[in-house]
Structure 1
């Protein structure tokens, strides 16, 4: 057992020393992988912070139902009953005519404006908040449905911003998946090509090793450890780049959020997230190395 661990330690240390003997080439390769990795990571960090910010916003898509001036208490009760039982309505608030006029006076600073009027020109209204899971298309349908309630004269709802927000979030999610998938494929291909070149450069050495009875797993092991170090070190480089991104982008994002009276905290990768990134990178590199090694070892035959 000690001999088994010693062989693995020896292969791992030799693979690392070979990378260190070519510092410039190894550094450029690691930086290339780290930059490619930092793109989906940076998008993930930004999207996570923005989603947290959006989750704290009190503003939500709302539909305002204006009743007819001739609406009676029975009509208001019927609308309340319909809104209470509607499956897509999260909550609603009733604003009476008198309250609406008082709110108008307070907002405009024209106290006593109602004294110059023959009557209250404002209608009763319901402010309806749909459930968060309702999509923009469903919001349009909900508005049309609520407009048909008894004695509802008009409904008001600006769905444009909700549709834009939904579209941006959808694009961000698709872009994140695309970048992650592209990075995964690129990491496998780059590692595959690197290991293939190493195997071709050591083809005679591999043939001699096979002549003296070396197994494929013994020959493959140094290349797998090389791939392990590539995945591990590129992840650390990506962590540094993402930390630099957070440090540089946080002030600009906070300044933008300040225009809306909010504060966005752009945080770096947490330890669990870094662990997942580390594991995925190493596994993808090992996959590329294993595919390259198995493919070429089948072709290498001792003379």
Structure 2
């Protein structure tokens, strides 16, 4: 077992030293891999940041429950109790009809409007903030709240919510599409890189096979070379996304301030960095494995009589 770990450690060390001996050529290759990773990762950060910002917007869809004019204190208490216990209600605010009339007078500039009306024609209202922006859930919540005692009308801006949900869904789908395309690109780039290395060392590989080297022994240095490439590319991707966020945040904050929101692109957390690194290493090793297996199969075919 000690010999097994020694061989793997030696292969990993040798592969790293070969990368460092050709810094310029390998740096260009690593930058290509890092950019392929950074594009979907940046879009992912943008989508997740957008989801956080929507919770801060003052225009978050709200359902307004207008009570019947004949509703009494017991009816208001029943509706309030139902809203407190509802699983899809994040928060709510009660607006007394007298307060609503005063706000109307202030907005219209007609401070004596109530004098000519005789009685307050406005109803009591509850302004409800839902927990989700998903359109189907909002439709269901509206129907449920409209059935509460003495609720005359349950109204909300469903079109705005659907547009926002559609935008986030589209961006999320584009993220997965880009991730799939660039994952394939990473495999192909590493496949081509390792194939060129194998061709440069094919005589060495042929001699190793003649003296009894196994396929796993021959593949091992190429797999470690690819693993180092994936690791370094993921670290470069982390740096690129951090730089992009740093450069974009001032302009983004200035734009968001127009809507009263403090918005900025979030950075990758430790868990996300670990997942991206593991993902990059696995894809790189997959490309190397495919290249090495292709060469070994072709070599066996050439040896057949």
> Shared fold (TM-score greater than 0.5)?
yes
- Aligned partners of 1:3 and 1:213: how far apart in 2? 18
- Aligned partners of 1:266 and 1:229: how far apart in 2? 29
Structure-2 residue corresponding to 1:65: 65
TM-score (norm. length: structure 2) = 0.82
Alignment of 1:3-22 (within 5 A): 7-22=7-22
CA separation of 1:51 and 1:288: change in aligned 2, threshold 3 A: same
Using the TM superposition, give the Cα deviation of residue 154 of structure 1 relative to its aligned residue in structure 2, in angstroms.
4.3
| 2:219 aligned with 1:220 | yes
Using the TM superposition, give the Cα deviation of residue 250 of structure 1 relative to its aligned residue in structure 2, in angstroms.
0.9
Where structure 1 has 5 or more consecutive residues not aligned to the other structure, the ranges are: none
Structure-2 residue corresponding to 1:159: 158
Deviations 1:170-191 (A, max 9, x none): 1122222222222222222322
- Aligned partners of 1:63 and 1:25: how far apart in 2? 59
Secondary structure at the aligned position of 2:171 is classed as helix
Secondary structure at the aligned position of 1:260 is classed as coil
CA separation of 1:268 and 1:145: change in aligned 2, threshold 3 A: closer
Secondary structure at the aligned position of 1:105 is classed as helix
Structure-2 residue corresponding to 1:183: 182
CA separation of 1:149 and 1:193: change in aligned 2, threshold 3 A: same
CA contact 1:66–1:123 (8 Å) conserved in 2: yes
Using the TM superposition, give the Cα deviation of residue 277 of structure 1 relative to its aligned residue in structure 2, in angstroms.
1.7
Structure-2 residue corresponding to 1:205: 204
CA separation of 1:298 and 1:94: change in aligned 2, threshold 3 A: same
Structure-1 residue corresponding to 2:135: 136
CA contact 1:83–1:89 (8 Å) conserved in 2: no
CA separation of 1:239 and 1:53: change in aligned 2, threshold 3 A: same
Secondary structure at the aligned position of 2:120 is classed as coil
CA separation of 1:30 and 1:106: change in aligned 2, threshold 3 A: same
CA separation of 1:81 and 1:228: change in aligned 2, threshold 3 A: closer
Structure-2 residue corresponding to 1:99: 99
CA contact 2:54–2:60 (8 Å) conserved in 1: no
Structure-2 residue corresponding to 1:285: 284
- Aligned partners of 1:81 and 1:244: how far apart in 2? 48
- Aligned partners of 1:93 and 1:38: how far apart in 2? 43
Structure-2 residue corresponding to 1:170: 169
Deviations 1:72-105 (A, max 9, x none): 4389459738955766555544433323212323
Using the TM superposition, give the Cα deviation of residue 271 of structure 1 relative to its aligned residue in structure 2, in angstroms.
3.4
